[in-house]
Amino acid sequence: MGEARSRIHRLPESLVRKIAAGEVIERPASVLKELVENALDAGARRIHIDVAEGGRQKIRVVDDGYGMSRADVELSVERHATSKLSSPTDLFTLDTLGFRGEALASIGAVSRLSIETRVAGDDEGTLIIIEGGVRREFGAVAHEVGTAVEVQSLFFNTPARRKFLRHTDTELRYLTQTVVQLSAAYPSVAFRLRHGDRDILDLLPGERRQRAAELLNADPEELLWVELSGGDTMKVEGFITPPGRCRRARSKQFLIVRQRPIQSRPVGTAIYAGYGSLLPPSAHPQYVLWLDLDPRNLDVNVHPTKREVRFAREAEVRQLVQEAVRTALRVPEASAFVGADSALPMAPARDNLRVAEGPARAFGEPETELEQMNLSLLPSAKPMGEVLDRSSGGEAMLIQARQSGIWQSHDKYLLLPIRDGILIVDQHAAHERVRYEEVQDMLVREGEASQQLLMPLTVDLSPVEMQAFQASEDMFRILGFGVRQFGPATLLVDSIPPELRNWGDGDIFYQILSDLIEELEARSEARDAMAASMACHTSIRAGERLDRREMTSLIERLLKAREPFACPHGRPILVKIPLTEFDRLFHRT
């Protein structure tokens, strides 16, 4: 294998710094995203994915891309080894999805990673196995041209991370979303996703219209074509659903900017504005839009996990998109759809995506009527503080709840039948209260465990933020943040509290700081302010599905709290609907 065969080279140190973005492989979906992006970068036409246990146990991605030579495989698992980027200017013309050369190294550090691969022209392929960052095997293997990467036992050596993985269904939903998003950007590539022995997705390669129709679960013919360019520097193309086919769920919205699935609030708003009054009340447009613009007008955050871009000429982009949508809807056929469809505006269509039962809702299939039924009993329900004094005994309540079960409703409230009624608990408020008290206690006790980041993250602070940080530096340390000053306006974070949820790319650090600044104005004790801000960011949110164990543990901890009736911001946590109220409703009195 001569030198010309080698596609991979090391990044210069200066660029490594420039990229200076920390990354935490947060969950199985982050691993899958990296692997699928690599396959796409390698020119794959067909990508087969097999996962087990929501990705916890296994994530396997097989592609028919160009593969790697033996020398390249060896380099590929080293940090900052990439074939894709060589000079700082390349960052702005990103033609590949990857460029940092750290994904495989990071993944190999926290799992058992095996790569089998072969390039065309080589007689034999190569197998490499890395376990917790240590090379276990390296040698020849028979393999077709292309690459198979398998990640087993993710986070086996970082128990804190592993513990914070969600319910299998939830992780599978993230996995599915990852594939769906990338498949919108690459319509001509076939994607298959299997979970255990179940087919979750099977997307055939096709034209953009076919792929859009499949992802939007629509008839290809009914999609409206959108196309407009603004001079020769920007262009938007894509498909939208006619107003009558708009749904109540907003999850079928795909924006692709230069081959990357992206979130952008300004563009989203522009699309709604394009529909204007044609959009039925509380309906959301469904769309797949591809936006192409001069990369110099794009601030793709160099950040790994970040799916947001900033547009240098945002107003122009917004205008272009709004106008494009408006024009597409004005096409004569469009109005026919409005009329024809409005009789059954929200009718759920057959789901030809073949989404598995659990994550189906991820794409926002309209809820069934039954699911929409709310407990409309609340007028006479009272916040628990008033109804129940402490003496009526948390213990007794818990025993009862254990016997009759706890239900989660709308991924937001927990329902517990008790002797004389039903308790309704706001899961976020409850957890926030529990965390608030825990953090307060921690700050007195000192010294929490912390969790090492795979890559330290640099954060640039404004003077106000820096001041707030310095004033509370001790508390940050106690809570488990490893933070060092790295320059007058920069911090280096290399470890975080293990219970910090959604650390993602570190945005949460800014949120905690800005909340802290706000809370400091409202509370005289710095410790309480810190506790309130940390509690908020380490709590379960509305919208998270909890399993039985999580629900019981939450209720248990809540009942032990010093003040279980109101969250740190004064909202109620518990309300009780007395049995007498049910009796009254059913005329049993």
Size of the site for ligand ADP (CB under 6 A): 23
Q: Does 506 bind ligand ADP (CB under 6 A)?
A: no
Picked from Mg ion, ligand ADP, none, the partner binding residue 67 (CB below 5 to 8 A depending on kind) is ligand ADP
- Among the residue ranges 21-29, 60-68, 219-227, 509-517, the one whose residues contact ligand ADP (CB under 6 A): 60-68
The Cα–Cα gap between 394 and 573 comes to: 14
Of 100 and 537, CB closest to ligand ADP = 100
Among 22, 54, 55, 101, binds ligand ADP (CB under 6 A): 101
Among 47, 62, 103, 182, binds ligand ADP (CB under 6 A): 103
Whether residue 128 contacts residue 114, with contact meaning beta carbons closer than 8 Å, is answered with yes
Rounded to the nearest angstrom, the gap between the alpha carbon of residue 567 and the centroid of all alpha carbons in its chain is 26
How many helices and strands (H and E) does the chain possess?
Answer: 20, 25
To which residue do tokens 């959009």 refer? 279
- Among the residue ranges 93-101, 121-129, 372-380, 409-417, the one whose residues contact ligand ADP (CB under 6 A): 93-101
Of 29 and 478, CB closest to ligand ADP = 29
- Shortest Å, Cβ 97 to Mg ion: 7
Cβ–Cβ contacts within 10 Å for residue 490, how many? 14
Of 31 and 475, CB closest to Mg ion = 31
Among 83, 253, 264, 408, binds ligand ADP (CB under 6 A): 83
Q: Does 63 bind ligand ADP (CB under 6 A)?
A: yes
User: Interaction with ligand ADP in 411-450: which residues (CB under 6 A)?
Assistant: none
Whether residue 282 contacts residue 346, with contact meaning beta carbons closer than 8 Å, is answered with no
Residue closest to ligand ADP (Cβ): 98
Per-residue x/- marks for ligand ADP, 26-45, CB under 6 A? --------x---xx--x---
* DSSP SS3 for 538: coil
Rounded to the nearest angstrom, the gap between the alpha carbon of residue 486 and the centroid of all alpha carbons in its chain is 29
Q: What is the DSSP string of 415-469?
A: EEEETTEEEEEEHHHHHHHHHHHHHHHHHHH-----EEEEEEEEEE--HHHHHHH
- Shortest Å, Cβ 330 to ligand ADP: 43
- Among the residue ranges 82-90, 437-445, 526-534, 539-547, the one whose residues contact ligand ADP (CB under 6 A): 82-90
Strand pairing partners for 483? 493
Among 6, 7, 237, 495, binds ligand ADP (CB under 6 A): 7
Angle at 7 between CA 6 and CA 13, to 5 degrees: 110
User: Interaction with Mg ion in 27-46: which residues (CB under 5 A)?
Assistant: 38
Among 25, 48, 51, 82, binds ligand ADP (CB under 6 A): 82
Of 48 and 173, CB closest to ligand ADP = 48
How far CA 22 is from CA of 277, 338, 398, 452, 495, in Å, comes to 43, 48, 43, 11, 11
- Residue positions counted in the chain: 589
Q: Is 487 left (phi over 0), alpha (psi -120 to 50) or beta?
A: left
User: Interaction with ligand ADP in 111-150: which residues (CB under 6 A)?
Assistant: 147
How buried is residue 339: exposed, middle or buried, by Cβ count under 10 Å (0-12/13-18/19+)?
Answer: exposed
Among 27, 48, 100, 208, binds ligand ADP (CB under 6 A): 100
Binding site for ligand ADP (CB under 6 A): 7-8, 34, 38-39, 42, 63, 65, 67-68, 76, 81-84, 98-104, 147
Binding site for Mg ion (CB under 5 A): 38, 98, 103
